[in-house]
Chains A and B, each alone.
Chain A
Amino acid sequence: MKKASVLMILGPLFLLGLFIFPLWNIMLGAPQYPEPLGMNIFINGIKGVQEFDIKNIDGLNHYIGMKTIPKAEEMWEFRTFPLVIGGMVFLGLVIGILGFFGKVGYKWFIGWFVLMSILGVLGMCDFNAWLIDYGTNLDPKAIMKLTNPDGSPLSYKPPLFGYQKMLNFDVTSLPSTGAWMMFVGMMMTLAAFFMGWKQHRTQKLPTVLVKWKMHKK
């Protein structure tokens, strides 16, 4: 249980990467932008990959009536997400430390993992909802109004995950370093659970069977 607890302590610490590295990255390349424009989405705001990318994306988007990319203070998510992540790191650490001293069992580990997964899925849903709003809630006085073949207004929603061709732009949206660190950290807590579970099962096996197993080796 000690080894599993160490993993359970380390795993949540990986989530701290989200305070340093972007969660998500969206790149926009076009013939006129051989060096693509890009935005890095952090848990506390959106930044350009290059210094003036946000300004330039907004500049281009004004033609099709998209809202400007929100500043940190314009979305509650950018205030809430850091608190949620910080809270989850703290909770994970507490569970891991208590586990180390045998105060809580391995089931707490999976509990943390499941809670984090639920929060993660909720976060993704929220992110997707913002992307839909960003890509479809357009200024009615937009300079250019483009429609699908069926006459409905064209959506400029960037893909949540993967690649999409959007007018003259090639848009790629992928998890970034922060998300990958979160993934690794969460996998570590899952591993901590399995280790705890396995150890627990081994301890419960009858002594004879353990001896027999050792003999086989």
Chain B
Amino acid sequence: MKKYNYLMYALMGLSLIMIGCNPQGKSNASSGALSSNAAERVYVAPGQLDEFYAFVSGGFSGQLSVYGLPSGRLFKVIPVFSQDAEKAWGYNEETKPMLNTSHGFIPWDDAHHPDISQTNGELDGRYVFINGNNTPRIAKIDLSVFETTEIIEIPNSAGNHSSSMVTENSEYVVAGTRFSVPIPQQDISIKDYKGNFKGTLTFISIDPEDGGMDIKFQLLMPGFDYDITHPGRGKSHGWFFFTTYNTEEANSLLEVNASQNDKDFIAAVNWKKIEEYVNKGGGTKMPANYAHNVYDDDTHTATSTMKKEVLMVDPSEVPGAVFFLPTPKSPHGCDVDPSGEYIVGSGKLSADLTVHSFTKMLAAIEGKKFDGEAYGIPILKFEDVLAGTVSQPGLGPLHTEFDGAGNAYTTFFISSEVVKWKLGTWEVVDRQPCYYSVGHLMIPGGNSRKPHGKYLMAMNKITKDRYLPTGPEVTQSAQLYDISGEKMELLLDFPTIGEPHYAAGIPAEIIMKNSKKIYKLSENKHPYAVLSDTDARVERKGNEVHVHMSMVRSHFNPDNIEGIKVGDKVYFHVTNMEQDYDVPHGFAVIGAQTSEILIMPGQTETLLWEPKQVGVWPFYCTDFCSALHQEMQGYVRVSPATSNVPLSFSLGD
């Protein structure tokens, strides 16, 4: 009996200890990563590969960064809209035309919403598209080379924010204007906004063979702000949805004046119907001026063409093509679930999330149950199209993605959290905090019929104390959650390049097998390429000097050049003769007012050098290419403008 007493005391003592350790009664789950095996789940051991690629917009960096998930490791920053001296993007002669616009050479933009091309509603990993917000442009990045290969300017647009989403067979990439403007542009008073300013929604066709972009038509919409967009899919394929705000058509102090209407709209656009109309000769050809820039992988050179016309469609002339779905309080995110039935509008000033039903919308259109019209576009009745409401899920809803298992995940900027809820029952299942003020979120394939619902990446606007301080400017960040279970689990924080406005994720195996290792020298069609050592030479045309140079481990050919004069424009056309994976060479010359050039195997790039001083000036390889990298150097002799030193070049004498 005594024995049992001891045991009782021991148990009582143990329970006291346990209570003492957990005074607030907190569960282990809330004590974070240490209690779970979060570290293990994001640890990708040395030499191992990540499961997903994440293409994360660089926001005001203008670029697109490529991360691995779940590790959060950064692989590459792809230059898109901003000059990048590292890769000579916008500095070398070949890529300068990529940044040409109707406003001239624009070396920066605000990159927003990457979206991956699809086939049959599933990610096919051929291209990723991203929009430049400031000087409206859409770029296409070819995922066989991870380079920007095409940029098209969007005319009649301003603040290209409602972009760049792709339809489920990559028929179109769509770009909506955030700011309405006079169309065509004209010198009028800003106060004449109402009725005179218009917004365009631009449908850019994608060539099924080479991915070439071409503006098929622009839809001339009322002067609202078009915020975010998503295509229909599955049953709603053929439709496109755009959130709007400022249906008040205010032109000043929008934070107050554009927040007056109880409901703004989601614009539902039946693009198939408009495509039909356009194919039959519908629409009006309107003068325009916009740049179309294409990079050719064979010539390794971009060309910029100014286009002079665009096809404008007035929606009131295509009955049954465009409808307005009333949606509470300045909706931001506009997201369509994988089945295509639900359209989620995140009224950012509303306490509730509004979900519209595509089926109900079709029925309401069929029954002509309209609640008036705006500029000739029928407005459907809110109650007739409403599928349901997620009641009081959080504050400041922005964006929603889906896991393909019947759950939706919405970010809340103000309450700084991501909330999981069920489609159909609209009940909130789980919520997890974000650090801090989350904007977008991404589930790989979340914008397709087939999401890969294993991870969720939240993109935060504010980080404050989450990382070591770096002065007043601190990083934005991404946070990775495991969403494979009923409850979401925070696994990892990692910093991002610029401000991540959205991301697109895709299983690595879809892309990695197509990733190019080298450019074939035999396919190099660059006009100044050096395909064999006998092609290396220097030629003068007036004050232009063209150096046809080759580089291979570990020398330049030629590496001694004389007869250059002050005032010459020296073009170094440098070909990397390597045909081996991961052997780039760089080229830099003292006093170049451009950048270095970084040349991949089989590629030719051109650096313009305008020497200002007499002397003998070195150039060298900037990429540690081989054991004799330090020997990879040469000299250029620059003589006075009046000199008659003959042009000569040599290698190894």
Contacts and interface: CB of A to CB of B under 8 A. Distances in A.
- Range, interface on chain B: under 10
B126 interface: no
Majority secondary structure of chain B interface residues (helix, strand, loop or mixed): loop
A52 B518 CA distance: 10
B216 to A, nearest CB: 40
B627 interface: yes
A168 B581 CA distance: 18
Interface in B627-645: 627-628
Contacts of B581: 35
B580 A143 contact: no
Contacts of A52: 518, 579-580
Chain A at the B interface: SS class: mixed
A63 B580 contact: no
B627 A56 contact: no
A51 B517 CA distance: 12
Interface in A43-79: 51-52, 55-56, 59, 63
B553 interface: yes
Interface residues of A, number: 9
B489 interface: no
A59 B628 contact: no
Interface in B418-458: none
A143 B553 CA distance: 12
A64 to B, nearest CB: 11
B462 interface: no
Interface string B124-138: 000000000000000
Contact of B579 (A35, A55, A143): A55
B628 A143 contact: yes
Given A52-B579, A52-B580, A143-B628, A59 B518 contact: no
Contacts of A35: 581
A56 B580 contact: yes
Nearest to A143: B628
Nearest to A144: B627
B580 to A, nearest CB: 5
Among A55, A59, A63, A144, which residue has the most Cβ atoms of chain B within 10 A?
Answer: A59
A117 B578 CA distance: 42
Interface in B579-612: 579-581
B349 interface: no
A201 B644 CA distance: 96
B552 interface: yes
Contacts of A143: 628
A203 B628 CA distance: 75
B347 to A, nearest CB: 53
B135 to A, nearest CB: 41
A59 B577 CA distance: 11
B627 A59 contact: no
A143 B579 CA distance: 21
A175 to B, nearest CB: 27
A48 to B, nearest CB: 10
Contacts of B579: 51-52, 55-56
Nearest to A51: B579
Given A35-B581, A59-B552, 12 more contacts: A51-B579, A52-B518, A52-B579, A52-B580, A55-B579, A55-B580, A56-B579, A56-B580, A59-B553, A59-B580, A143-B628, A144-B627
Interface of A: 35, 51-52, 55-56, 59, 63, 143-144
17 contacts: A35-B581, A51-B579, A52-B518, A52-B579, A52-B580, A55-B579, A55-B580, A56-B579, A56-B580, A59-B552, A59-B553, A59-B578, A59-B580, A63-B627, A63-B628, A143-B628, A144-B627
Instruction: List 6 A-B pairs, minimum CB-CB distance, nearest first.
Output: A52-B579, A56-B580, A55-B579, A59-B553, A52-B580, A143-B628
